[in-house]
């Protein structure tokens, strides 16, 4: 207990320590620790960074990236990479995030955090930031390798692609938190997350280009949020411009899922 008496007086409250700074206390440390924890989880690292890269290499090896008439003169990799980006976002937000948060609640990790002055928003922010960092890393890795090996065409509207990535990520994050709030354990959250993720992965054009789909399948799978994400990214990538329908749908998902998840979220 040495130094205890001395400590009490040594930290006068700075007049600058506004409410905001107080609210954020602990957030940067929490983010740092969660980043480290993510890296220590082999499954998380594999599915976020390695798995999409694996798909790129497998399909890249099989089909190459030579211009093809069925892809409007683009190569197979050129038209698949937007889907792989959507896949990274989907994996992180629909599986990784809900499973982690539900497990944190199930094992009382949230319970322990709540017993401190830490704000609930800091816990949510930390998870959003950590997942954003790793999915961005996954995306940059994909683009880097695709450029290096297959000379993939880079985005015509890079800022648009970045903004679309951010919007998609936030919308799917909100869904991830909703799942974590609605399903009490890591197991059930994983089951439901998978049920939402995997069908969309194949039906949206994330895992294979939509150009390969028959017309009826294209029409039926159009309203899926992941389809909208792939389309939005694709259009911006090739300079077609903003697909405002997709922007509207994804914003709607973000707002509705975000609002509902703040109501259903439980610490214990």
Residues that bind other proteins (CB under 8 A): 1-4, 7-8, 11, 13, 22, 25-26, 28-30, 33, 36-37, 40-41, 104, 107-109, 111-112, 114-119
Residue 28 or 61: the one with the smaller Cβ distance to other proteins is 28
In the complex, the smallest distance separating the C-beta of residue 115 from other proteins, rounded to whole angstroms, is: 4
Contacts 24+ apart (CB under 8 A), 250-254: 250/167, 250/168, 250/171, 250/225, 251/167, 251/171, 253/171, 253/172, 253/174, 253/175, 253/225, 254/167, 254/170, 254/171, 254/174
Closer to other proteins at the Cβ: 126 or 139? 126
CB nearer to other proteins: give 215 or 263. 263
- The closest alpha carbon to 226, from 131, 136, 91, belongs to 91
Q: Of 197, 171, 160, which Cα lies nearest the Cα of 252?
A: 171
**Alpha-carbon 70 to chain mean position:** 30
In whole angstroms, the minimum distance from the beta carbon of 221 to other proteins comes to: 38
Closest separation between CB of residue 197 and other proteins, Å? 24
**CB of 1: closest distance to other proteins in angstroms?**
5
Q: Which is nearer to other proteins, 69 or 117 (CB)?
A: 117
d(C-alpha 63, C-alpha 53), whole Å: 15
Least separation in angstroms between residue 6's CB and other proteins is: 11
DSSP result, 121-166: HHHHHHHHHHHHHHHHHHHHHHHHHHHHHH-PPPPSSHHHHHHHHH
How far apart, in Å, are the Cα atoms of 11 and each of 5, 28, 116, 158? 12, 20, 19, 47
Please identify, using beta-carbon distances, which residue of 109 and 256 lies nearer to other proteins.
109
Choice between 116 and 216, CB closer to other proteins: 116
Quote the least distance from Cβ 217 to other proteins, whole Å: 42
């Amino acid at each position: 207990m040495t130094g205890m008496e001395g400590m009490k007086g040594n930290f006068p409250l700075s007049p600058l320590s506004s409410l905001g700074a107080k609210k954020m206390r602990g957030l940067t440390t929490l983010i740092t620790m969660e980043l480290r924890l993510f890296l220590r989880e082999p499954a998380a690292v594999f599915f976020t960074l390695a798995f999409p890269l694996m798909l790129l290499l497998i399909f890249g090896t099989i089909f190459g990236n030579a211009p093809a008439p069925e892809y409007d003169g683009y190569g197979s990799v050129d038209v698949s990479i937007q889907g792989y980006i959507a896949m990274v976002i989907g994996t992180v937000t629909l599986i990784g995030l809900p499973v982690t948060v539900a497990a944190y609640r199930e094992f009382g990790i949230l319970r322990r955090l709540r017993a401190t002055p830490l704000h609930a928003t800091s816990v949510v922010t930390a998870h959003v930031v950590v997942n954003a960092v790793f999915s961005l890393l996954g995306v940059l890795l994909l683009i880097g390798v695709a450029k290096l090996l297959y000379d993939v065409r880079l985005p015509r509207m890079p800022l648009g692609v970045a903004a679309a990535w951010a919007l998609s990520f936030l919308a799917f994050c909100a869904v991830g938190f909703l799942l974590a709030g609605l399903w009490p354990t890591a197991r059930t959250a994983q089951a439901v997350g998978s049920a939402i993720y995997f069908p969309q992965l194949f039906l949206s054009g994330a895992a294979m280009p939509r150009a390969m789909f028959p017309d009826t399948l294209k029409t039926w799978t159009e309203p899926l949020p992941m389809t909208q994400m792939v389309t939005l990214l694709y259009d911006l990538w090739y300079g077609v411009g903003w697909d405002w329908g997709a922007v509207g749908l994804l914003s709607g998902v973000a707002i509705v899922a975000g609002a509902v998840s703040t109501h259903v979220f439980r610490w214990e």
